[in-house]
Structure 1
């Protein structure tokens, strides 16, 4: 799931929790809304943590900046 999907799930859960007043018998829309909000928040937080871990070192460059070869010690 991406960040957008997590936000969509949170929004859908909030709509079910706070805006829908339907009685579907044994189905509790308030509980489903709360569950969706919790799942969306946990997903968002996990993605944020993983994205920070992956991006902490920045992109790996094989040839250094601007494609210049930095593997030698400067003695040509």
Structure 2
């Protein structure tokens, strides 16, 4: 299982895709939609989770592309 991917605002404008724990962005785009598409592909390939953040930093959406338990607990 790879690193979780985060789509966050870039400090200099636009959006970035960052692996969990990385200090630098893996990819930088102009729009959030482009960043989500890139991050989704990376998360699928690495069987990781994708976290999409709002401009204020809050997580607005979370998707799992890993080995989810079936049936889910709860």
TM-score, shorter chain, exceeding 0.5: no
Normalising to structure 1: TM-score of the pair? 0.29
Normalising to structure 2: TM-score of the pair? 0.29
Compare CA radii of gyration and give the structure with the larger one. Answer: 1
Structure with the higher helix share, 1 or 2: 1
Structure with the higher strand share, 1 or 2: 2
